[in-house]
Amino acid sequence: MTYQISSTNKIIKGTIDLPASKSISNRVLIINALNYSPYPIHNLSDCDDTNVMLKVLTSNTNKFDIGHAGTAMRFLTSYLSKIVGEWEITGSSRMKQRPIATLVDALVQLGAKIEYLENDGFPPLKIWGSHLKGKTLKLDGSISSQFITALLLIAPTIEGGLTIQLENKIISKAYIDLTLELMKKFGILYKWEGQKIIITEQHYLPIDYTIEADWSGASYWYQIAALSDSADIHLQNLTLDSLQGDSAIHKWFTQFGVISEKTKEGTRLIKTSKITPDFFNQNFTDNPDVAQTIAVLCLAKKVPFHFTGLETLKIKETDRIAALQNECAKFGATFTEPQNGELAWDGTINESLIVKNPSIKTYNDHRMALAFAPIVLSGQPIQIENPMVITKSYPNFWNDLNKIGILSTKLK
């Protein structure tokens, strides 16, 4: 299926009920499962990743297919390794290409029993849930923060607790902070001293908890505001002083004339100025999930850029560096990768490469569809292939766009 995306409206006004944060939802689901909480989780995310996690945690079977849900694969591998039973967990063909050896090796050091069912180092996995004993684990700080979070979430429930010594540069520190601060809300004490995180054996406290709106989802509305002539957008339940690392973007977007105001119900985005930076230089170490949003915005505004801190993008739902290069080339832009974890563009448009009404491939990656759709506000209609990939994180996205005049029409 393909959607034609178009818009003639450059004055954007409306109220949007953003999806709940799947990052917070998935962490709280594991925490609640570990403490056998009697309380419901309010405003739980209704996206594929969270629904998969919820289905597994409430299932009566011992074999699970989590599809494209990378977070679920990492968190559940850790969780199941300490839940008595025999478990099998698999995923999509892409999931079977995403490495998990670092997490498995760490769990094995704690006493876990895990077997690779196909290729060493990759899902699917067979897990024999067993008693785990804590120790000091040495982990490369540049690995996916989801591996570290998966271990941290079970750390208080391991005999003797757990100490994680992070070596080298720490990638996506904001996501580790998010995990630890959520654990703190559920009664867990921790120490983070230099590169060492110490969590003693202790009990999670069950509490009544409400999930806040998703800042990654909010990034597309900031992008829309920046591409508009003027905007007044109210984002419900979006907290400026959020635990989520992606909340940092509200400061970045002032360079594109978008300001944020705290309201009783959430956050209001206002665009009245048409200012644009001459060059955009940003380190995405703590915010890798918004890199595609900013890259497409810079393309649409013809702002040259240099991004760093993108080391984890190649092991996401797709190789996001390559995907951006491929799809942005259809607009005449050649994105380069100066070094591993970097993306750059000099602002040059090669007219001979421009594809009229280009069809954007999404590579089974929700963020490709979400990040490219707003570009129609720059006057360039596009097509989005496999548009319902957005259900992974933002199921109501196309309906929300329709509210403010960005239309999606099914072609086939």
User: Residues with catalytic annotation?
Assistant: 289
Look at the block and give the residue holding tokens 């009245």.
Answer: 272
**What residue type is 166 in one-letter code?**
L
User: What whole-number distance in Å separates Cα of residue 211 and Cα of residue 223?
Assistant: 23
Within 92-172, residue ranges assigned H as helices are 101-109, 145-154
| Radius of gyration from C-alpha coordinates of the chain | 21
Within 228-374, residue ranges assigned H as helices are 249-252, 291-301, 320-328, 366-372
Q: Are 156 and 188 in contact (CB under 8 A)?
A: yes
User: What whole-number distance in Å separates Cα of residue 88 and Cα of residue 181?
Assistant: 31
* Surface-to-core class of residue 194, CB atoms within 10 Å of its CB (0-12 exposed, 13-18 middle, 19+ buried): exposed
* Surface-to-core class of residue 351, CB atoms within 10 Å of its CB (0-12 exposed, 13-18 middle, 19+ buried): exposed
* Helix, strand, coil percent values for the chain (each to nearest 5): 40, 25, 40
User: What whole-number distance in Å separates Cα of residue 161 and Cα of residue 152?
Assistant: 10
**What residue type is 340 in one-letter code?**
N
Nearest residue to 364 (alpha-carbon basis) of 331, 317, 327: 317
Q: Sheet containing 359-360: which strands, arranged edge to edge?
A: 359-360, 382-385, 2-6, 407-410
Instruction: Provide CB contacts within 8 A for 389, sequence distance 6+.
Output: 362, 364, 365, 366, 368, 369
Nearest residue to 344 (alpha-carbon basis) of 306, 316, 308, 317: 306
User: What whole-number distance in Å separates Cα of residue 135 and Cα of residue 12?
Assistant: 54
Within 58-196, residue ranges assigned H as helices are 70-80, 101-109, 145-154, 173-185
Q: Pairing state of beta strands 305-308 and 343-345?
A: antiparallel
